[in-house]
Structure 1
Amino acid sequence: MKKRMTFFALISVFLLLMVGCTTKGKGKGKLTRIDVFIGNQEETHIQDKSTLDLVEKISAKVKWEPNTFPKIGQEADVKVVFFYEVKKNLPEKLTEYEIWFNEDTGTAAIISTNEKEGYGTLDKENTAALKNIFIK
């Protein structure tokens, strides 16, 4: 009986540790850097906290269609890579985005490598702000 209690206690502690240490469901992590690629130009890096916070705020306004990956005929205007720190001292999680700016409507079309996001669109106001950050 005592062995059984010890066994169940160890299993309980193990399960508690497993559930407590999982990152699933805790979001993407902390955005630490964005690499911006425009055509054949040199890449630029964004690491300023206030700019990263603004980009995250704008990104939250994107209307996503998960698991949708349309083929767009032309090359993206901007390609960006978001670097997320999920846990200290572990490699960052990367999410790539291709962005097309529609000059006629002032909106943007975005394709993400994150299946939970897929294809998204961004309204005129937020597109202008995002464009000012990425294309200088």
Structure 2
Amino acid sequence: MQQRLVYFLISLTALFLIGCSDEAPKEFNLDQLTRVVVQEINKGTQNEIIIMEEKDLESIREVFKEIKWEPGSMVDIEGERSAEATLCYTYDKNMPERLFVYEVYLMKEGTISLQSENEEEGYGELSKEHAESLKTLFFRNK
């Protein structure tokens, strides 16, 4: 009887430790991108675009692979913030989405600068040719 109680307590402790771990993925997996919410910021107004179509998400995946990140750096970007993009990842259907927020700046040279809230990414730049693809997806009203 006492041995069963010990096994029960050990099992209960193990289930508690395994079930309560908040082990979330530490790295990005663009394949698990399920939705992007873009809040375009114009003087005095905000437009929100929700991107869920698979072809558009695939384009965003391809563009985000081309961003040159400077991990750990927080840069004071000159110019006005043009949009805020929230990338929503679903790592497990039984867990809530993970959200990653980026400040998006359209630069005069035609490039795009991004500032991530995630310190592992930090500041990133996108070349002119890849920036055009992202502009057509994020700024549909222009």
> Is the structural similarity TM-score above 0.5?
yes
Q: Mind listing any 5+ residue stretches in structure 2 that lack a counterpart?
A: 1-13
Q: Which residue number corresponds to residue 62 of structure 1?
A: 67
Q: CA deviation at 1:102?
A: 1.2
Q: Which residue of 2 aligns with 1:90?
A: 95
The residue identity in structure 2 corresponding to 1:28 is N
- 1:71 is displaced (CA, Å) by 1.9
How far, CA to CA, are the matches of 1:102 and 1:73 in structure 2? 9
TM-score normalised by the chain length of structure 2: 0.74
Q: Distance in 2 between matches of 1:56 and 1:24?
A: 18
Moved more, 45-54 or 22-31: 22-31
- State the match for 1:34 in structure 2: 36
Deviation of 1:28 (Å): 3.4
Shift of 1:49: 0.7
Greater Cα shift, 37-46 or 88-97:
37-46
Query: Is this contact kept in 1: 2:79–2:107, CA < 8 A?
Result: no
Instruction: Give me the identity figure in percent.
Output: 32
TM superposition shift of 1:78: 1.2
Cα pair distance change 1:27/1:100, threshold 3 Å? closer
Residue 75 of structure 1: CA displacement? 3.4
Q: Which residue in 2 is equivalent to 1:117?
A: 121
Amino acid in structure 1 at the alignment position of 2:60: V
8 Å CA contact 2:36, 2:86 repeated in 1: yes
* CA shift digits 1:34-77 (9 cap, x unpaired): 00101122311000011001101100100000010112354311
1:45 matched to 2:47: no
1:115 alignment partner, SS class:
coil
Secondary structure of the corresponding residue to residue 62 of structure 2: helix
1:133 equivalent among 128, 134, 137: 137
Once the two structures are TM-superposed, the CA of residue 27 in structure 1 deviates from its matched residue by 3.5
> Who is 1:80 aligned against?
85
Alignment match, 1:9:
none
How big is the shift at 1:31? 0.4
Q: Which residue of 2 aligns with 1:106?
A: 110
Secondary structure of the 2:37 match is strand
SS at match of 2:34: strand
Aligned residues: 121
TM-aligned CA distance change 1:106 to 1:42, over 3 Å: closer
